[in-house]
Amino acid sequence: MAFACSLGQPVIAHAEDSTDYHPQSFTQPLIAARGTVSPAGGGAVYLKPEDRCNLVVKEFGWDRGQCGTIDQLIFGFTPEIDNLTVEKPLSDGYVSLADWDSSNRSAEISSIEDSFKESVKAQSERSGKDIRFDGWLVYPQIDKAKNILYYANILNWGGERTINISVSIFDRQGYVPMKIVPVNGNVTSDDVQKIVAASAAAYKPQAGTAYFDFSSGDKIAGYGALGVLATMLGVKYGGAASAGLIALALVVLKKGAFLLLLPLVWLRRLFGRRKKADG
């Protein structure tokens, strides 16, 4: 999941001393669970596992046991991206995309959207913050040439518009989720397409694990692309969702995912100031 701070009142109260974290220059490919993530430009930084864990524990109240859900956390991945989170891959099996071509896809997505709205409303009530789902900047879609599912939604946080981009890269064993927060809250749908393309292109699966490497006899997930979309949004979807899928959705909701969706611009700028001072 992507992380949060209000630009006016950053929640990272403990991070005022930049020595709390030790950002690393992102100049070489980073190893992920089932692939690598390569730099897309200069100036990006990332946090090592200990710093990543310290950040989510200190600033967001996570349990240390949940730090393992993050594979890589990168700031300033491109000039347009504030932060990019590569999550640990899901390994429920090869995901069929056949349900995405069904005649009732729009109705199913509407049902998932309704569940998401209810989740946002519940989160708003629990947190005492005015959080609303203001629709899609980019409606959920699949790029079968790249084997990715992605969307961009608009959240209103106390009157502040925030864009959150989610990408899932399908592979032979399941999929790899990415969460992306752009620097500019007023990006266009065309901007989102470029951000998605750059992020997906930076990820390279290990040899033999790509989506097209599927072979007869491989494990097949008990849900399709619509189930993946529901999980990306942190909601339960139908009876086809596996126990693992539902468990993940419940963890997302329990940890207050929507409180963690605003950009860490403040922290990234802190890193930038520190780099200049060290130089």
Nearest Cα to Cα of residue 8 among 194, 137, 185:
185
Kindly report the number of other CB atoms within 10 A of residue 213's CB atom.
15
85, β-bridge pairs: 73, 179
Q: Which residue's structure tokens are 């349990």?
A: 63
Contact assessment for residue 150 and residue 167, using Cβ atoms and an 8 Å cutoff: yes
Alpha carbon distance 132, 137 (integer Å): 14
Per-residue pLDDT 10s for the chain (279 aa) are 444 432 222 233 344 444 578 889 999 999 999 999 999 988 899 999 999 888 877 766 667 887 888 999 998 899 998 889 999 999 999 999 999 999 999 999 999 998 888 888 877 787 677 888 999 999 999 999 999 999 999 988 778 788 889 999 999 999 999 999 888 888 999 999 999 999 999 999 999 999 999 999 999 999 999 999 998 888 877 644 444 434 444 444 444 443 344 344 445 555 554 455 455
The pLDDT, as a whole number, for residue 274 is: 47
Q: What is the pTM of this model?
A: 0.82
Q: Which residue's structure tokens are 């611009």?
A: 265
